[in-house]
């Protein structure tokens, strides 16, 4: 069952624990999903056709090329609307929807996924929440149809196989669990992980806290991810962080195989080595969108 409760009862079987993000980290699917599934559905369901160029630009920045990369789809959608509202080219062309009800739901809901949103709509049939649910369901359908035959990055399978005897492995993701299970099973790597945790089980921070918090010795928890949110989840749980750098994913996995894994297992990962990795990673994902930097804002 895909609930947070399912993570609480996990007892350590190995000395180490490694959480691994999926989209953009283990699989080169982030750009495919965003550009072919999320963004077309966003333009269609939120009637952004008159400003589709700007909607695409904002969505790609939030979900692919900024510090918000990898966040849950619902806060990401709100962030896209916030960026669009700042652009006169957009506000002159159409009136953006008031996503206040979605913003309020995000603030009080812990498990941000379609099941919880569906329950909310059943008890509170707000038109914005209903449209959000329709949009999200359409995205899932598009992903199921589109994302087929995309293998994991080189180095992922080898890393899982090498770690399997030493560490408890778990997928830690904001993607719906059904899609995660389908993708990991398709390529025969699901058997290497004990749990595949998606958005229905809570946030990435909650995944790590429930599955590993207080269960392993200091320095024996590691999160591998491609987004600042992965690093934040690691920090919140006292875990180390190995970044998979966007645009250099294969090189990052090679580095993990050659040196990162060994350092983690031998206890020499923390300190200057991790700081060097993170400094390089943080330079890749800015906070200010390019259209603001271009005008010196």
Q: Phi first, then psi: give them for residue 27, nearest 5 degrees.
A: -125, 140
* Residue 183 DSSP symbol: H
Q: Which domains does the chain have, with CATH numbers?
A: 5-28+152-282 (3.40.50.1000), 30-146 (no CATH)
127-146 helix and 177-186 helix, angle to the nearest 10 degrees:
0
Q: Phi first, then psi: give them for residue 286, nearest 5 degrees.
A: -80, 170
Does the pLDDT at position 34 exceed 90?
A: yes
Does the pLDDT at position 6 exceed 90?
A: no
pLDDT digits (tens, 9 = 90+) for 194-204: 999 998 898 89
pLDDT digits (tens, 9 = 90+) for 152-172: 999 999 999 999 999 999 999
Per DSSP bridges, beta strands 221-225 and 195-197 are unpaired
Does the pLDDT at position 253 exceed 60?
A: yes
Burial 216-244, CB ≥16 within 10 A → b, else e: beeebbbbbbbbbbbbbbbeebebbbbbb
pLDDT digits (tens, 9 = 90+) for 44-100: 999 999 999 999 999 999 999 999 998 999 999 999 999 999 999 999 999 999 999
CB count, 10 Å around CB of 8? 11
């Amino acid at each position: 069952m895909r609930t947070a409760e399912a993570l609480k009862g996990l007892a350590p079987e190995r000395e180490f624990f490694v959480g691994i993000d999926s989209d953009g980290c283990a699989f080169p699917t982030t750009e495919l999903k965003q550009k072919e599934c999320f963004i077309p559905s966003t333009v269609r369901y939120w009637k952004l056709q008159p400003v589709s160029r700007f909607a695409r630009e904002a969505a790609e920045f939030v979900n692919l090329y900024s510090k918000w990369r990898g966040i849950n789809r619902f806060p990401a959608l709100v962030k896209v609307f916030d960026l669009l509202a700042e652009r006169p080219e957009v506000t002159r062309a159409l009136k953006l929807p008031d996503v206040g009800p979605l913003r309020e739901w995000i603030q009080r809901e812990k498990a941000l996924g379609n099941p919880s949103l569906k329950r909310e709509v059943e008890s509170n049939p707000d038109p914005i929440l209903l449209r959000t649910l329709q949009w999200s369901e359409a995205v899932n359908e598009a992903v199921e149809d589109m994302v087929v035959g995309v293998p994991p990055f080189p180095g992922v399978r080898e890393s899982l196989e090498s770690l399997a005897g030493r560490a408890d492995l778990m997928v830690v993701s904001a993607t719906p669990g059904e899609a995660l299970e389908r993708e990991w099973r398709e390529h025969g790597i699901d058997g290497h992980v004990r749990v595949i945790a998606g958005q229905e089980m809570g946030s990435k921070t909650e995944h790590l806290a429930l599955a590993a918090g207080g269960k392993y010795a200091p320095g024996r928890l590691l999160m591998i991810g491609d987004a600042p949110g992965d690093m934040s989840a690691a920090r919140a749980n006292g875990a180390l962080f190995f970044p998979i750098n966007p645009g250099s994913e294969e090189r990052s996995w090679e580095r993990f195989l050659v040196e990162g894994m060994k350092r983690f297992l031998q206890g020499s990962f923390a300190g200057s080595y991790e700081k060097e990795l993170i400094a390089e990673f943080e330079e890749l994902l800015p906070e200010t969108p390019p259209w603001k930097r271009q005008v010196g804002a």
